[in-house]
Chain A
Amino acid sequence: MATRRPRAKRRSKADREFVSEAEEILDAMRAGVADLGDSLDESRGPDPELVNRLFRAAHSLKALAGMFRFDPIRDLGHRLEDILDGLRLDRVRLDASLCALLEESIATFASLLERVGDVQALGESEPAIADLSRRIAAAAAPPAVEADPLARLSVDASLLRALTEYEEHRLRESVRRGRHIALVDSTFEILSFEEGLSELTGAIREHGELISTLPAPGAAPESQINFSLLVASDLPANDLLAALDFPKASVRSVLAGEPAPRAQLAPAAEPDASAQEPADESQALEPPPGETPGELESLRSISDTVRVDIRKLDELMNLVGELVIARGVLGELTLRLQENAATARVGGELAKLHKALERKLRDLQSAVLDVRMVPLRQVFEKVARVIRRLRRELGRDVRLDLRGADTELDKLIVEALVDPLMHVVRNALDHAIESPEERRAAGKDPEGTLSIEALQRGNHVVIAVRDDGRGIDTRALRTHAEARGLVQAGQVLSERETLELIFEPGLSTRDEVTETSGRGVGMDVVRSNLAALGGVVDVESVPGRGTTITMTVPITLAIIQSLIVGVGERRFAIPLSSVLETLLLPRTAIQRSEGRELIDLRGEPLLLRHLAREFDLAAEPAGESLYVIVLGIGEQRVGLAVDRLFGQQDTVIKPIQGPLGALHGIAGGTDLGDQQPVLVLDASAIVDDATRRREAA
């Protein structure tokens, strides 16, 4: 499976590293700005921690661009940092136009990144950046002046002077919101104060916002150190002390809050900005608990992570693949040595070594595979972002339910999944989920639900996108298909076969062309994109109740276990991930119905195809019995009859190069180490053909 990355081609290694790191930061910023937009919609103040995160991201981006000497990017990063700093210190007010400006800046960043390596194009974008910078500067209007709330605090002025500008702002903000302000004092052993302090700050964060941690001078013995922690909380001082449950701490009230605070602000106690998503997902997107978010955070993630170009991993994978093949040949030679009486002793020793090599190689293989595995989380985040935006644009109330974001897949597959998944999600939002009025009229919850669930099933990952919308109108679909000549007027189709029509080119369940789904990309593209990955897509729909689109993809494209089968003199490899079981049946077990062959698989009819006939090959004369391989792709099952089974082998599937291009029914070729390539069957095409032919019959 050749994946092209044309954008990165002409760039130097340093450029590529910069772009990949910068893209990561931009992704995080995009998500942050979307959350910021949400907090605006829900008319609460921006989450200070979120603004902080954004500020740090802009700062890292600026620093990174400076390091790599990408001046236009650095300048823009600098502006963005300014405005986020203003937002952080409440010098700038958050409103819709600011959100739009932030979104625009990020989009501009993204387009700048595309031009990295192209000096001229970078230069051409400078006027646009200057314009954007001007507008950002204009947006930084001074906020309204009010009486300084800090005057109300009963606290030593020296303490207030020790606060940073940001801390002071947070304090002021908390007072304005009527929260209780308290000083938590505690004494720690110098040798172990870090653990004690982090335990205390952790406890504080559960019940309020830690504004500042100040070392307190005082009468502590030399081996001890005092700290004063300035805390804003919805709990009065006494309750806070009880809640902290920290024996060595004392709490004194600096300002009693107002009862019934208007809004909760404590980051930990506040419902998460993405509260509409299930809790386990949204929480995991936050920094891990116990880790103090701060400037050190970004440094840390850089120091224990190595960024690797996926092409290097491809190379590594190929090398491992070649080792695996060489190992196979070694195994055969060993066997030959063992069979010969004269060399049996050497052969035996070699066999032991070979076993050890095999084990280590398997470990190496899975280690390399493991490196390529990434959780689906990043794709889910992208989808969540798009949904938030569409929610605003389309005015639909949609609850998003994401599950299984930790499911891991090969990086290349994850990348290739983005477009199909996005398309399916857009379709659901655009066509499937009705307007709130329509839903109310139908007696449904006015808020629709879109759930995306990923789960691993053997060597595949199944991703189900479920909506509770209007479902697919199969009659309209049928009319449409007849109008396009895809179905004959009198042709009898089952409900399922009619639904499958949505995968035909040029069919959509609605005529309107909209920005969200009318991009000329239909479900046929989703199907072919997934087929290119060796995956399949299924559809289920109940009118009025909703639609489920299920995408099944293999976990990895690299080294896979294959079953080697023989027909006549030919060998073929079948990816084991598509093989459910193999059967040895007497020929008399074959039954016939309407010209099709069936076998009885534990009470269920199983369609039987013959590989020899599929490929017009000369098969061996019919014997007493036959091998049947039960292929399973998605929900479909088909039996494939072959002459012989040669057992399982590790295979590295390579694309077949040449003028014929893609060959139907063949997924690629593989070299098993004997120089004679073996063709790898495309199990999904074979299953597809068989089930389609059933329709045609």
Chain B
Amino acid sequence: MAAANSREDWQALAREAARGVDEAPGEEMRQLLVFQVADASYALPVECVREIVRQRATTPIPRAPEDVCGVISLRGEILQVIDLRRRIGLAPCAPTRRARIVVVQAEESGVAGLLVDGVREVLRTGQSSLQLQGGGDGMVAGLVRRGDAFVSLIDLERVLDLHVDA
């Protein structure tokens, strides 16, 4: 249930994405939402994304881990928001006008917001350009080739695997 403006954003992004990707014929295509965190591109399968909203006033949660910047109110729903910069081990920065909260719906952890520095595009890609990354304790599940650069595919369940220290 995306708000009207973000739905338009989506369509624009989708059109733009459709232009720039070379498709291998017959291959099953996946759609990824690509966003910016610091100076790198990250992505999530669009199925996990419920909506994208502008950054808004956040209320910090006492005793919560630093990666959680607090809660927002989204049409009456109270959602926890995770600062993706901190979550992948970078220093936080002052909010910019391009910053967005990507509201994700994960299978196990439910709904949450991810604070990113900006949303870039929806990328259509085939399985062949996806390289899974085994092991490691990072937040990245694999890499996707995008022209001559790589986009890091976020491991959502791991990003959302957060606990309050007792």
Q: Across the interface, do A678 and B80 meet the contact criterion of CB distance under 8 Å?
A: no
Contacts A657-B111, A657-B112, A659-B109: A321 and B76 contacting too (C-beta < 8 A)? yes
Contacts A570-B60, A666-B61, A677-B59: A657 and B77 contacting too (C-beta < 8 A)? yes
- Is A665 positioned at the interface, with any CB of B under 8 Å from its CB? yes
Q: Across the interface, do A675 and B56 meet the contact criterion of CB distance under 8 Å?
A: yes
- Is A632 positioned at the interface, with any CB of B under 8 Å from its CB? no
Q: Which B residues lie within 8 Å of A666 (CB)?
A: 61-62
Q: Which B residues lie within 8 Å of A675 (CB)?
A: 56-57, 73
Q: Which of B12-20, B92-100, B136-144, B155-163 contacts the other chain?
A: B155-163
Residue among B62, B72, B110, B162 with the highest chain A CB neighbour number at 10 A: B62
Other-chain residue from B62, B73, B81, B161 in contact with A665 (beta carbon distance below 8 A):
B62
Q: How far is the CA of A657 from the CA of B71 in the complex (A)?
A: 9
Q: Across the interface, do A677 and B164 meet the contact criterion of CB distance under 8 Å?
A: no
Q: How far is the CA of A105 from the CA of B110 in the complex (A)?
A: 41
- Is A597 positioned at the interface, with any CB of B under 8 Å from its CB? no
Q: Which A residues lie within 8 Å of B160 (CB)?
A: 659
- Is A65 positioned at the interface, with any CB of B under 8 Å from its CB? no
Other-chain residue from A570, A654, A659 in contact with B77 (beta carbon distance below 8 A):
A654
Q: How far is the CA of A657 from the CA of B113 in the complex (A)?
A: 10
Q: Which B residues lie within 8 Å of A679 (CB)?
A: 59, 61-62, 71
Interface residues on B, range: 20 to 34
Shortest CB distance A637–B (Å): 23
Q: Across the interface, do A658 and B164 meet the contact criterion of CB distance under 8 Å?
A: no
Chain A 671-682, CB-CB to B under 8 Å as 1, else 0, gives 100011111000
- Is A224 positioned at the interface, with any CB of B under 8 Å from its CB? no
Shortest CB distance B160–A (Å): 4
Contacts A657-B110, A659-B109, A679-B59: A652 and B76 contacting too (C-beta < 8 A)? yes
Contacts A656-B80, A659-B160, A659-B161: A676 and B59 contacting too (C-beta < 8 A)? yes
Q: How far is the CA of A335 from the CA of B64 in the complex (A)?
A: 37
Q: How far is the CA of A656 from the CA of B160 in the complex (A)?
A: 15
Q: Across the interface, do B78 and A617 meet the contact criterion of CB distance under 8 Å?
A: no
Q: Which A residues lie within 8 Å of B60 (CB)?
A: 570
- Is B82 positioned at the interface, with any CB of A under 8 Å from its CB? yes
Other-chain residue from A615, A656, A665 in contact with B78 (beta carbon distance below 8 A):
A656
- Is B48 positioned at the interface, with any CB of A under 8 Å from its CB? no
Q: Across the interface, do A616 and B63 meet the contact criterion of CB distance under 8 Å?
A: yes
- Is B151 positioned at the interface, with any CB of A under 8 Å from its CB? no
Q: Which B residues lie within 8 Å of A616 (CB)?
A: 62-63
Q: Across the interface, do B111 and A658 meet the contact criterion of CB distance under 8 Å?
A: yes
- Is A206 positioned at the interface, with any CB of B under 8 Å from its CB? no
- Is A14 positioned at the interface, with any CB of B under 8 Å from its CB? no
Q: How far is the CA of A668 from the CA of B111 in the complex (A)?
A: 15
Q: How far is the CA of A25 from the CA of B47 in the complex (A)?
A: 44
Q: Across the interface, do B64 and A676 meet the contact criterion of CB distance under 8 Å?
A: no
- Is B79 positioned at the interface, with any CB of A under 8 Å from its CB? yes
Contacts A654-B77, A655-B78, A669-B78: A660 and B59 contacting too (C-beta < 8 A)? no
Chain A residues within 8 Å of chain B by Cβ, number: 29
Q: Across the interface, do A677 and B72 meet the contact criterion of CB distance under 8 Å?
A: yes
Q: Who on chain B is nearest to A668 by CB?
A: B78
Shortest CB distance A311–B (Å): 16
Shortest CB distance A161–B (Å): 70
Chain A 639-667, CB-CB to B under 8 Å as 1, else 0, gives 00000000000001011111110011110
Chain B 48-70, CB-CB to A under 8 Å as 1, else 0, gives 00000000110111111100100
Q: How far is the CA of A664 from the CA of B61 in the complex (A)?
A: 11
Chain B 115-127, CB-CB to A under 8 Å as 1, else 0, gives 0000000000000
Q: Across the interface, do A658 and B63 meet the contact criterion of CB distance under 8 Å?
A: no
Q: How far is the CA of A570 from the CA of B61 in the complex (A)?
A: 10
Q: How far is the CA of A675 from the CA of B76 in the complex (A)?
A: 9
Q: How far is the CA of A676 from the CA of B56 in the complex (A)?
A: 8
- Is A167 positioned at the interface, with any CB of B under 8 Å from its CB? no
Q: Across the interface, do A658 and B80 meet the contact criterion of CB distance under 8 Å?
A: yes
Q: Across the interface, do B73 and A657 meet the contact criterion of CB distance under 8 Å?
A: no
Q: Across the interface, do A659 and B80 meet the contact criterion of CB distance under 8 Å?
A: yes
Contacts A616-B62, A679-B61: A671 and B78 contacting too (C-beta < 8 A)? yes
- Is A198 positioned at the interface, with any CB of B under 8 Å from its CB? no
Q: Which A residues lie within 8 Å of B109 (CB)?
A: 658-659
Q: Which A residues lie within 8 Å of B62 (CB)?
A: 614-617, 665-666, 679
Residue among B76, B77, B109, B112 with the highest chain A CB neighbour number at 10 A: B76
Q: How far is the CA of A654 from the CA of B163 in the complex (A)?
A: 20
Q: Which A residues lie within 8 Å of B161 (CB)?
A: 659
Q: Across the interface, do A663 and B164 meet the contact criterion of CB distance under 8 Å?
A: yes
Q: Which A residues lie within 8 Å of B76 (CB)?
A: 318, 321-322, 652, 654, 671
Shortest CB distance A665–B (Å): 7
Other-chain residue from A321, A652, A660 in contact with B164 (beta carbon distance below 8 A):
A660
Q: Which B residues lie within 8 Å of A657 (CB)?
A: 77-80, 110-112
Shortest CB distance B75–A (Å): 9
Q: Which B residues lie within 8 Å of A663 (CB)?
A: 61, 63-64, 164
Q: Who on chain A is nearest to B61 by CB?
A: A663
Shortest CB distance B74–A (Å): 9
Contacts A677-B73, A678-B59: A660 and B163 contacting too (C-beta < 8 A)? yes
Q: Across the interface, do B78 and A677 meet the contact criterion of CB distance under 8 Å?
A: yes
Q: Which B residues lie within 8 Å of A665 (CB)?
A: 62-63
Chain A 606-624, CB-CB to B under 8 Å as 1, else 0, gives 0000000011110000000
Cβ < 8 Å to A, chain B residues 11-43: none
Shortest CB distance B49–A (Å): 16
Q: Across the interface, do A659 and B82 meet the contact criterion of CB distance under 8 Å?
A: yes
Q: How far is the CA of A422 from the CA of B38 in the complex (A)?
A: 56
Q: How far is the CA of A654 from the CA of B82 in the complex (A)?
A: 19
Q: How far is the CA of A679 from the CA of B112 in the complex (A)?
A: 17
Q: How far is the CA of A663 from the CA of B59 in the complex (A)?
A: 14
Q: Which B residues lie within 8 Å of A678 (CB)?
A: 59
Shortest CB distance B86–A (Å): 14
Q: Which B residues lie within 8 Å of A669 (CB)?
A: 59, 71, 73, 78
Q: Which B residues lie within 8 Å of A322 (CB)?
A: 76
Q: Across the interface, do A658 and B59 meet the contact criterion of CB distance under 8 Å?
A: no
Q: Who on chain A is nearest to B163 by CB?
A: A660
Q: Which B residues lie within 8 Å of A660 (CB)?
A: 61, 64-65, 68, 80, 162-164
Q: Across the interface, do B110 and A658 meet the contact criterion of CB distance under 8 Å?
A: yes
Residue among B64, B80, B162 with the highest chain A CB neighbour number at 10 A: B80
Q: Which B residues lie within 8 Å of A570 (CB)?
A: 59-60
Cβ < 8 Å to B, chain A residues 500-542: none
Shortest CB distance A670–B (Å): 8
Q: How far is the CA of A659 from the CA of B68 in the complex (A)?
A: 9
Q: How far is the CA of A283 from the CA of B108 in the complex (A)?
A: 51
Q: Which B residues lie within 8 Å of A668 (CB)?
A: 78
Shortest CB distance A143–B (Å): 62
Q: Across the interface, do A659 and B162 meet the contact criterion of CB distance under 8 Å?
A: yes
Residue among B65, B71, B112, B113 with the highest chain A CB neighbour number at 10 A: B71
* Listed A/B pairs (26) with beta-carbon separation below 8 Å: A615-B62, A616-B63, A652-B76, A657-B80, A657-B112, A658-B80, A658-B81, A658-B82, A658-B109, A658-B112, A659-B82, A660-B61, A660-B80, A663-B63, A663-B164, A666-B62, A669-B59, A669-B71, A670-B78, A671-B78, A675-B57, A677-B71, A677-B72, A678-B59, A679-B61, A679-B62
Interface residues of A (CB under 8 A from B): 318, 321-322, 570, 614-617, 652, 654-660, 663-666, 668-671, 675-679
Question: Which 4 residue pairs of A and B lie closest in terms of their CB atoms, listed nearest first?
Answer: A658-B80, A669-B78, A615-B62, A676-B57
